[in-house]
Amino acid sequence: MTNTTKKQTLSQTLCQGNLAKLPTSIDIPTYDRSQLKAGIVHIGVGGFHRAHQAVYINELLKTPGSEQWAICGVGLLESNRGLRDILVKQDYLYSLVVRHPNGNIDNKVIGSMIDFIFAPDSKQAVINKLAHSDTKIVSLTITEGGYNVNPTTGELDLNNASIAHDIANPDDPSTAFGYIVAALKIRKNSGMPAFTVQSCDNIQHNGAVTRKMLLSFTQQQNPADAELSQWIAQHVQFPNAMVDRITPVTTKADIDYVAQTFGLLDEWPITCESFSQWVIEDNFNDDRPQWDKVGAQFVSDVTPFEKMKIRLLNAGHSVLGLLGSIHGYATIDETVSDKDFSDYLRAFMDLEVTPLLDQLDGIDLAQYKDTLIERFSNPNIKDSLARICSESSAKLPKFLIATITENLALKRDCSLAALVIASWCLYSDKQVNQAQQALDIQDAMRDELAKYAQKTPTDKFAFLKLNSLFGDLIIKRAFNKHYDNAIDALYSPSSDIKEIMKSTLSKKHKKVSAETK
């Protein structure tokens, strides 16, 4: 191939008309996309959705009789404009690069999305699509923060500016809740059946949380219309689900790989690990996709599965993310490949999380934790610590602080988790690693976290006074003892995070050994 030919080939975009030009080794949609209907409207089309739910639907669409379960994506934020433009140009197709730990790669084109509505330009179009009779499921990946839960009270955060706007302006929605309630109001008033609202975010009891927040929002927005809240409570289902697939942020290297391998340009491909899991409560308003035919699992109660995943995988990510960032590592795989970090993570999982988990039929917890370490170690998934630590203020109350609180209630030691919280304080305060290199901190509460953390040199417990995150943790003497020691060590002029981890772990093992004698 000449340079000219190669340049011409790579200037062609991945789209329906160019699928036939792809190498036969690439898995492409074999179904007729022109015959599909969008039975699912998905709000929040990020990388995870395109590596997870959209992939399950892609596989299901290969089965005749599933044509009604394609996806219409919705972007609520101005930052989604670029994604909309790319997807439209590509006929809503995108490439998926699945990287196995052994180096093998599966290359796919996903065709399950057939439309995308950019809400800032077409608010009524979003509402109309949600209200359309074809729509059976409205699914969500809006991140933990998108549910606007006050972590201290567990109630809807009415102080959030977007929520306050939507409550006051029901005809000008900006949040997922605003759009969903507007569409459900149309359905109720038109005598149409309700759709199912399906959260696919990493929140324990994500369906129950969505239901509680949506009903609270509806009551606040429509105080004179009690019938609407009652109708939603009676007719809308919110199945809980546990979702799992590590999906790093797309990089230029991913785009270059796809261009070279596919011979077509995809401006926003997705890379992910080979592992994927989806456990769903079988609780839907109407018909639902037969996801169990393509690897998902329907259960009557997802609670023990989601607790296992959130407390081990998600919390484990945060443990590695914060400690590894302070040390100076950039990715999860290089962090967990360091024995000091993997030993600390495994001890945290074994000693502070596992005793709180329920036993699950068919799940070997020791093997599950081994698999987590293997997944984190995958050298072909360069998942950045900056991504892992992003929006920690929305994640840690659910992933880590819940475990601390439960251990304290049971009078159990939580010294390993206390060091992680103290490290979060240092991370938010100094915003540099041990080599004095700037950290890429992405958090809606970044300034507020820094404000509290920067008082630490004169008030050791200043960070814990941010009670919207920590609640009454500051008055828990058993926790404060460990937090005090961790702050002293971390803020020492000769501080070395690895030495602090080893010291903390050594004390932990001695305590456990003494208790078991």
> Scanning the structure block, which residue is given the tokens 């929305």?
394
pLDDT at 190: 97
Q: Which of 353, 283, 258, 251 is nearest to 312 (CA)?
A: 353
Based on the fold, state whether residues 332 and 451 are members of the same structural domain.
yes
pLDDT band at 515 (very low <50, low <70, confident <90, very high): confident
Q: Residue 489 has what pLDDT?
A: 97
Structure tokens at 465: 């006074």
**Are 317 and 294 within one domain?**
no
Closest CA to 22 of 123, 121, 111: 111
Same domain, 410 and 486: yes
Average pLDDT of the residues in 190-215: 96
**Residue 516: its pLDDT value, please?**
76
Main-chain dihedrals φ then ψ at residue 103, nearest 5 degrees: 100, -15
For the chain, what's the residue count?
A: 517
Same domain, 295 and 307: no
Residue 98 three-state SS: strand
517 pLDDT higher than 80: no
Instruction: State pTM to two decimals.
Output: 0.87
What is the average pLDDT across 249-259?
A: 96
The number of folded domains in the chain is 2
Q: Is the dihedral of CA 37, 41, 44, 50 positive or negative?
A: negative
Range of the domain at 215: 3-299
Last residue of a domain, one of 299, 331, 366: 299
CATH number at residue 57: 3.40.50.720
Stretch 359-372: mean pLDDT, rounded? Answer: 90
Q: Is the same domain home to 307 and 270?
A: no
CB of 217 closer than 8 Å to CB of 156? yes
Share of the chain above pLDDT 90, in %: 92
Structure confidence by residue, pLDDT tens digits, 421-449: 999 999 999 999 999 999 999 999 999 99
Whole-angstrom distance, CA of residue 253 vs CA of residue 433: 25
Express as a percent the part of the chain with pLDDT over 70: 98
Same domain, 102 and 230: yes
CA–CA separation, 417 and 396 (whole Å):
11
Domain shared by 335 and 283, yes or no? no
d(CA 39, CA 138): 9
